[in-house]
Structure formats: C-alpha cells, structure tokens
Amino acid sequence: MDQIINDLSHHIRLNKGFFLWMGFLALAFLACLYAYVQQLRYGLGVAGIRDYISWGLYISNFVFFVASSLIGMLISAVLGLIGLKWVQPITRIAETIAVAFAAVAGLVIVMDMGRPERLAYVFLYARFQSPILWDVTVITTYFVISLLLLFLPMIPDMAVLYKRFGNLPGWLKPVYKVLSLNWTDHPEQNRIIHRSMYILLILIIPAALSIHTVTSWLFALTVRPGWDSTIFGPYFVSGAFVAGSAAVIIAMFFFRKNYKLQDYLTDLHFNNMGKVLVLVAFVYLYFNINEYLVPGYKLKRADAIHLRELMSGHFAITFWLVQVGGLLIPIALMLFRKMRRPLPLTLISVVVLIAAWFKRYLIVVPTLAHPFLPIQHVPDNFRVYTPTLTEIAITLLSFILVLIIITLISKFFPVIPVVETAKEKGLDPLKSNES
Amino acid sequence: MDENTVNNRDEQDPSKSSRRNFLKNIGLLGAGVAAGAGALYSGDIFEKKKAATGESKVLLTQDNKLVEVDSLELKALAKNPTKLMLEKGREGIEGRRWVMVIDLSKCRNARRCIAACQEAHQLKPEQYHLNTLQMQDSPGTAPYHMPKNCQHCDNPPCVAVCPVDATYKRGDGIVLIDNERCIGCRFCMAACPYSARIFHWTSPKDSDKHNGEAYNVELNVPQKLGTISKCLFSADRCREGKLPYCVSACPNGVYYFGDENEDAVTNGTTKETVRLSKLLRDNGAYQLMPELGTKPRVYYLPPKNRLFPFEPATDESPKEG
C-alpha cells in the first residue's frame, strides 16, 4: 500500500523543475497579458478581425476549448459507465483537462467582447431567445459538474494522503485536511459518494452534449453558407472527442514521463486510448463527408463559392493539411498496433490536436469571408483576414492559462486516483497494517 | 356615510355644532387670506420675470405636434438626457410603418447618399451604414449599382440572436441599436445575411471631440468604441417628419421613403409623393433574398430602361482611419 501511495504521490512537492516551469508560464502569461491590456485600451482593432470577418482567432479558439473540454464526459461517463476498468487511471487526467478548458473557454469568449466591462449585462438583460445565453448556461453547468467529478473521487485520496503520506508538503496538509471533509471511509460516506458520482456521471452526458451542440448553433442558427447546416451539432461533438482524446494522450505521456507513472499508465492504456481515438476519428470523418459532399454535390451558388474557397482557393493548403494530414493519415497510422505505442501515439496526437485547432479556424473564418453580398469599397484588410501579433498573443494567453491550471492540479494532487487503484488491488488504504 | 353620521351628531348637540362651525369659518378665512397673498406674491414674481424675458418658443412634441410655449415655462428635465432618449427610442413613432423603395434604374453611383449618411452618423470613410455595390446577377445580365443598407427586416435575425436586447425592432418597423447596452459580441453581424452591420474596432471618428455628449439612440451618435452600428432609417429625421439623410441627398431620384400604413412614399429628389402599392406593382418591385424569410422593409425596383450607360465604380477603397 505504501508503495502505491508513494508511487502516485511522490510528485507532490515543490521542486526546481516545477518552479522553472511555472516561472516560464508566469513570464509568458505576463507578456501575453500585456497584449490584452492593449486590446482593452485601444479596442478590438488591435486584432485583425474587421467588419466582414468579424470572428477570427478568438472564436475559433473558443470552439476549440469547448471541444477539448468534452473529453471529460467521454472518458469518465461513457467509458466509465459502460464498465471499462482500464479507463480508471485516466479519469482524473480527463477531468482535469475538462475543468481547465471549460474554465478558460469562458474567459476566451470575454476576450472576444468589444465591451468586456458590460459582461454582467448578459445576465442583467438576459434574452432567452439568444443562443449566447444558452451557451453561458450550459458551459457553467458543465464546468460545475466537471469540477465535482474531479473533486469527489479525490476526497478519499486526500484523507489517505493526509494520514499516510509522510512526504506531503507541510503547507499542503491543512488544504488536504479541509478538502478531505473528514473522510473516514465509513460505509455511509462511501454510499453517498458513489451515489453522487453515479448521478453526476449521468448528468454530465446531456450537459456535455449541450455545450458543444449549443456552441455549434452559434453558427448553425445563421443562414450563412458553410454554417447553415443541420448536422453541426453531432459534427462538432464528434470532432470534440477527437481533439479531447488527443489532448488526453498527450497529457498521459507527459505525466507518465515526468511523474514516473510507467507502472500505472502502461502501454495498454496508450493502446486503448489509440483505439478510442481511431473510433472517434472515424465518426468525425463520417460527419466530414456529409458536411462537404452533400452541398458539394448540389453546388448551390453560395455553397459552391464556399467550397471552392476551401478546397482550391484561399484556404486550400490549410484545408487539405487538416483533412488529410490531421485526420485521414492519423486514422490510417493508428490502425497499426505499433503506432499505438506511447511515443508514436503521442506524436500522432500532437498532429491531430494542432489540426483540430485549425479545423475550428476553417469552420469560422471562410464562411465570413464570403457573405451573400459582395465586399466592396473597403480597405484590403477588411477582405482578407490576417491575425495580428497582439491577437496571437492574446490567444496564447488562453493556452498558458490552461497549462497553468493543469500544472497546478496535477502537481498538488495525485494524477491517478490512489484509493481506487489500491482497492482495485484488494488493499484497504486507510488500514495501516497492510503493506 | 361618515359625513352623515357627523351631521347627525352635530344636530344632536347644538353647542358642539356652533363651536365646530366657528373653527371652520376661521380656518376658511385663514386659507383664503393665505391663498390670496400667495397669488399676489407669485403674480408679482411672474410679472417681474415676464418683464425680463417674455418670449415664446415653438417646440416639437414627442407626438409630432408643434406647440408654442412661453420660454418662462421651459425648464430642463432633471432626468439624464441620454436615458430619456433611450426610453423614447425604444418606442417608435406611433401609427407608422416606415418603408423604403430604391429605384435601381436611376442609380448612377453618385454616392452622395453615402456621404450624407456618414456625415450625419459620424462615420469614417470605410464605415458604411449604406454602401452602393456593383452587382451583376449572372454573366448574361447587365451590371448595375445597388445601394444597400439595413433592410429593417420584419423578421430580423440580428434581433433574435442579441443576448442583451441591445438591438431591437420598434413598432414603426425600424431596427435600432442601443450602444449603451451593446456588449460587442458581434453575433448580430454573423446573423445578418445583408452584411448591414459595422463595428467600431478602433476609436470612432472624432471620438475625443464628441466625448461626453448625450447619446442619441435614434442617430447612434456619438458612436461608441467596441459596439455595433448600422443604418437607422434616420429615425431622428422620421420623428421630425423629414426624409432620411440619404434619401434627401440623392441627386438622381433613386430613393422613395414613406409610411406603409399611409400607402405613400416620397421621392427624396423630386419630393413627389406616390402611392406605394402602385409604385411596387407597376415596376415589378422585389426584395433582397426574400427566400431567407427575413421580410425586409426595403424594396428594389429593377434596373430596367436606364437612360444612361453603366459606368463601373472606380474602386477607390478608403484607407482604414
């Protein structure tokens, strides 16, 4: 038992590597924060977005963040409720990613507001008809459920570590004590926590489906070619699982290496996550075919312009890199067992994740670049969207925030559930007479 | 009922009654004296003031009536003028259904409408509430110039998606924006199929000069950084009973503007008022993309029988200011 506790918790300490990494993140954060201060002072004009292409990096990034956060639901709820035992060590990683991305997604949308100081108006003058209100509601709900799903299984862990982990940093002890909520492993406590987990795991499925469906509706509820689609909901949800699975695989790889968790995050877990990624990528491919082939066959005038711009026009290079390099080739590669080993799978996941980001860009920008009526008598930067450095820095700011949140959660709490792992092996973590 | 009982009791007790009457009389007398003195005093003040100014002013009331008011009776309202205009601007002008007709056979791309509009709404050269677009529907058909503004849809997609009720549809058909409310999410821009909306990405034109002026929601002036703006059918001019800025500025008789309820529109150049239904019927009027279900309040008359050759627009795109 001590072995498990030590293996899963030895990374919980303040070491040089942590300070270096956090220092780097903090510096990068401050640099990018300066960019946002510029935007607050001079307006959204510091970004490259203009009257026609009025949604750019920020909104693409928002969609990507909401997408990535969806993985918490897939791993914990869907795979967990089916009863797949192997997902158990990954659940906390998935929930951490869900919480981090969902929390920052809310900030990303504020970064896109022309008047961020009027944020409260969204609640003060809330209009039920507006999909933005639906989005705010479901994202908040999803964030709260994800946070609970992260926290509840951690309660027994903290009680155990508080009692039995000698190396727990002194300043963390009171935090653990408070957060463990007097956990004594009493049967009644276990009953309550299992029951709540069960309810939350079921609740998070509709919540997760809602957040990304509603996010897709921000586009699909308009009449613009490229957005005016009835399959945008499932198209976005399946794409979200691709991005999220890739993010989880990358996180698994780093935790395994940095926190020396090779015995707990084994090749089997990577192999299985690789299979999950292939599966969701196939589903996404199916929706992609629907999304492009159906209007492409009919070629209504506005759709034809949109598709031509994507496939052979201004966005062609990005489009084919994303579709072939970021979806088709990874699927083909991951069909082979060798490619689902940790290192190659992680490399593939990095490519998939980057492609997933650009895919959001390809959904948001090209449609706006080709409205129904011609764009005339305006400066050139109104016609062609080029993100500015300030805009890129502000986008990076959101990524840095996600990394900070993931780093803090994973550094100060066990990445892999301790008590569940112990119980899996038939050990009772709160009784000290076992080894 | 109460009075009756009191009277009954008075009759029963005459001594009480006389005392009561005495007090009543004294009270009446006192009140009379006080009122008289007050009247004399205020009359005196009034006379003094009248002697000092004493001129009358002609004012337009909210329901479009001209009234003559003595300047003495004018006093500034304690209420914040911006707030007052915001409240007024939500209501619309009663009984009206504003409508615009654009005769494409007359448009020679003079762009005076644009200049007048940008002047009135404090817009930069690249910011258009109204833009003339060079159109060609298919390779075999003739090119033409098409003024395009907000269509003031009766089923406006922009209003539907606004999260804070900053953009709204009024009873008189006009779609307006409250720039004191707008949060700058630009969902309305994404929703509008006519690309009618603009955004203040940088400080609006002469914003330091207009800083602190009361905001007029029916003119969108002063324009505000980080918020949306668009054509307002010159709601401020409608209230005064005048034609919109663009309509009055056109030298070629392109624009008609009027009230659907009256079935009458007035040409901005010739000032000729014609029957709306007849104008639309006789000229084969159409709307922009009616298949989208937006129900626009702007009608177009097709570019037929043009008495001048088509001259392509010299594409002098303004620089961003």
User: Rounded to whole angstroms, how far apart are CA atoms A192 and A217?
Assistant: 37
Instruction: Spell out a b/e string for B59-93, using b for 16 or more CB atoms within 10 Å of the CB, else e.
Output: eeeeeeeeeeeeeeeeeeeeeeeeeebbeebeebb
Chain B residues with CB under 8 Å of A125 CB are: 164-166, 181
Q: Taking 50 as the threshold, does the pLDDT of residue A434 lie above it?
A: no
Does the beta-carbon distance from A130 to B199 stay under 8 Å? no
Provide the pLDDT for residue B10: 46
Residues 6+ apart with CB under 8 A from A394: A32, A35, A36, A39, A47, A57, A58, A111
For residue A286, give its domain range. Answer: 2-424
The tokens for A235 are: 């198209």
Chain B residues with CB under 8 Å of A366 CB are: none
Search chain A and give the residue with CA nearest B294. A223
Listed residue (A389, A338, A357) closest to A39, CA to CA: A389
Does the beta-carbon distance from A133 to B163 stay under 8 Å? yes
User: Rounded to whole angstroms, how far apart are CA atoms B49 and B42?
Assistant: 10
> SS in 3 state form for chain A?
CHHHHHHHHCCCCCCHHHHHHHHHHHHHHHHHHHHHHHHHHHCHHHCCCCCCCCCCHHHHHHHHHHHHHCHHHHHHHHHHHHCCHHHHHHHHHHHHHHHHHHHHHHHHHHHCCCCHHHCCHHHHCCCCCCHHHHHHHHHHHHHHHHHHHHHCCHHHHHHHHHHHCCCCCCCHHHHHHHHCCCCCCCHHHHHHHHHHHHHHHHHHHHHHHHHHHHHHHHHHCCCCCCCCCCCHHHHHHHHHHHHHHHHHHHHHHHHHHHCCCCCCCCHHHHHHHHHHHHHHHHHHHHHHHHHHHHHHHHCCHHHHHHHHHHHCCCCHHHHHHHHHHHHHHHHHHHCCHHHHCHHHHHHHHHHHHHHHHHHHHHHHHHHHHCCCCCCCCCCHHHHCCCCCHHHHHHHHHHHHHHHHHHHHHHHHCCCCCHHHHHHHCCCCCCCCCCC
In a domain, A216, yes or no: yes
Mutate to test the interface with A, among B161, B225, B298 (most CBs of A within 10 A): B161
User: Rounded to whole angstroms, how far apart are CA atoms A35 and B218?
Assistant: 35
Cβ–Cβ under 8 Å, residues B151 and B102: no
Q: Among A71-85, A138-152, B62-76, where is mean pLDDT lowest?
A: B62-76
Where does the pLDDT of residue A433 fall: very low under 50, low under 70, confident under 90, or very high at 90 and above? Answer: very low
d(CA B226, nearest CA chain A) in Å: 4
Cβ–Cβ under 8 Å, residues A110 and A36: no
The pairing of beta strand B98-103 with beta strand B298-301: parallel
Cβ–Cβ under 8 Å, residues B183 and A130: no
CB-closest option in A115, A379, A381 to B182: A115
Provide the pLDDT for residue B34: 74
In a domain, A200, yes or no: yes
CB-closest option in A54, A131, A380 to B317: A380
Listed residue (A67, A42, A393, A25) closest to A218, CA to CA: A67
Provide the pLDDT for residue B95: 94
Q: Which residue do the tokens 């009536």 mark?
A: B65
Cis geometry, peptide bond prior to residue A169 (ω within 30 degrees of 0):
no
* pTM of this structure: 0.88
d(CA B86, nearest CA chain A) in Å: 15
List B167's β-bridge partners, or say none: B177
Query: Which one is predicted more confidently, B116 or A167?
Result: B116
Provide the pLDDT for residue A428: 75
List pLDDT tens digits, range A229-258. Answer: 999 999 999 999 999 999 999 999 999 999
Does the beta-carbon distance from A130 to B160 stay under 8 Å? yes
Instruction: Provide, rounded to the nearest whole percent, the portion of chain A with pLDDT above 90.
Output: 87
Cβ–Cβ under 8 Å, residues A421 and A11: no
Provide the pLDDT for residue B55: 72
d(CA A226, nearest CA chain B) in Å: 12
Chain B residues with CB under 8 Å of A131 CB are: 161, 187
Q: Taking 80 as the threshold, does the pLDDT of residue B318 lie above it?
A: yes
d(CA B127, nearest CA chain A) in Å: 8
Cβ–Cβ under 8 Å, residues B197 and B188: yes
User: Rounded to whole angstroms, how far apart are CA atoms B159 and B206?
Assistant: 29
List pLDDT tens digits, range A309-363. Answer: 999 999 999 999 999 999 999 999 999 999 999 999 999 999 999 999 999 999 9
Chain A residues with CB under 8 Å of B133 CB are: 373-374, 376
List pLDDT tens digits, range B268-314. Answer: 999 999 999 999 999 999 999 999 999 999 999 999 999 899 999 88
Mean pLDDT of chain A: 94
Chain B residues with CB under 8 Å of A130 CB are: 160-164, 187
List pLDDT tens digits, range B226-253. Answer: 999 999 999 999 999 999 999 999 999 9
List B59's β-bridge partners, or say none: B67
Task: Break chain B into its structural domains and give their ranges.
Answer: 2-52, 93-301
Provide the pLDDT for residue B4: 47
List pLDDT tens digits, range A155-166. Answer: 999 999 998 888
Provide the pLDDT for residue A217: 96
User: Rounded to whole angstroms, how far apart are CA atoms B203 and B123?
Assistant: 11
Domain B93-301 has CATH 2.40.50.180: no
In a domain, A119, yes or no: yes
Sign of the C-alpha dihedral, residues A244, A390, A377, B156? positive
Provide the pLDDT for residue B17: 59
Chain B residues with CB under 8 Å of A368 CB are: 190
Q: Taking 60 as the threshold, does the pLDDT of residue B144 lie above it?
A: yes
Count Cβ atoms below 10 Å from residue B57 Cβ, excluding itself.
11
> How many independent structural domains does chain A possess?
1
Where does the pLDDT of residue B7 fall: very low under 50, low under 70, confident under 90, or very high at 90 and above? Answer: very low
User: Rounded to whole angstroms, how far apart are CA atoms A296 and A229?
Assistant: 13
Q: What is the CATH number of the domain that holds A309?
A: 1.20.1630.10
CA A176 to chain centroid: 27
Does the beta-carbon distance from A379 to B319 stay under 8 Å? yes
Instruction: Spell out a b/e string for A318-332, using b for 16 or more CB atoms within 10 Å of the CB, else e.
Output: bbeebbeebbeebbe
Counted across chains A and B, CB pairs separated by less than 8 A come out at 150
Search chain B and give the residue with CA nearest A118. B183
* Average pLDDT rounded to a whole number, residues B144-159: 97
List pLDDT tens digits, range A112-142. Answer: 999 999 999 999 999 999 999 999 999 999 9
Q: Taking 60 as the threshold, does the pLDDT of residue A81 lie above it?
A: yes
Does the beta-carbon distance from A115 to B165 stay under 8 Å? no
Does the beta-carbon distance from A54 to B202 stay under 8 Å? no
Provide the pLDDT for residue A345: 98
List pLDDT tens digits, range B174-212. Answer: 999 999 999 999 999 999 999 999 999 999 999 989 988
In a domain, A431, yes or no: no
d(CA B316, nearest CA chain A) in Å: 7
In a domain, A429, yes or no: no
Does the beta-carbon distance from A218 to B187 stay under 8 Å? yes
CA B115 to chain centroid: 20
Q: Taking 90 as the threshold, does the pLDDT of residue A385 lie above it?
A: yes
Provide the pLDDT for residue B314: 80
d(CA A54, nearest CA chain B) in Å: 7
Query: Which one is predicted more confidently, B153 or B43?
Result: B153
List pLDDT tens digits, range A210-229. Answer: 999 999 999 999 999 999 99
Where does the pLDDT of residue B315 fall: very low under 50, low under 70, confident under 90, or very high at 90 and above? Answer: low
User: Rounded to whole angstroms, how far apart are CA atoms B184 and A284?
Assistant: 33
**Is residue B204 packed enough to be buried (19+ CB in 10 Å), middle (13-18) or exposed (0-12)?**
buried
List pLDDT tens digits, range A19-51. Answer: 999 999 999 999 999 999 999 999 999 999 999
Chain B residues with CB under 8 Å of A216 CB are: none
Chain B residues with CB under 8 Å of A42 CB are: 202-203
DSSP secondary structure letters along B202-256: SPPTTHHHHTTPPPBTTTTBS--TTSEE---TTHHHHHHT---HHHHH-SS--EE
ipTM (interface predicted TM): 0.92
Provide the pLDDT for residue B26: 72
Provide the pLDDT for residue B62: 61
In a domain, A434, yes or no: no
Interface of A with B in 63-122 (CB under 8 A): 112-115, 118-119, 121-122
Where does the pLDDT of residue B53 fall: very low under 50, low under 70, confident under 90, or very high at 90 and above? Answer: low
User: Rounded to whole angstroms, how far apart are CA atoms A160 and B89?
Assistant: 64
Instruction: Provide, rounded to the nearest whole percent, the portion of chain B with pLDDT above 70.
Output: 85
Interface of A with B in 221-250 (CB under 8 A): 221-224
Mean pLDDT of chain B: 87
* Average pLDDT rounded to a whole number, residues A363-390: 96
Amino acid at B150: C
Provide the pLDDT for residue B319: 85
Interface of A with B in 191-220 (CB under 8 A): 218-219
Provide the pLDDT for residue B3: 46
